[in-house]
Amino acid sequence: MRIIFTYHRKTTLCMESIFSRFVHKEISKFEEILLVHLVELYLYGSSR
pLDDT reported for residue 14: 73
H or E element, residue 24 = none
The pLDDT of residue 33:
83
Domain ranges of the chain: 2-47
pLDDT for residue 44: 84
Percentage of the chain lying above the pLDDT 90 cut: 0
What does the pLDDT profile of the chain (48 residues) look like in tens digits? 465 566 667 777 777 777 777 676 666 777 778 888 888 888 888 776
Residue 16, helix vs strand vs coil: helix
CA distance to 4, 15, 45, per residue, from 38 (Å)? 16, 8, 10
Q: Give the ranges where 24-48 is alpha helix by DSSP (H).
A: 29-47
Query: What one-character DSSP code corresponds to residue 25?
Result: T
Q: How many CA atoms lie within 13 A of 35 on its CB side?
A: 17
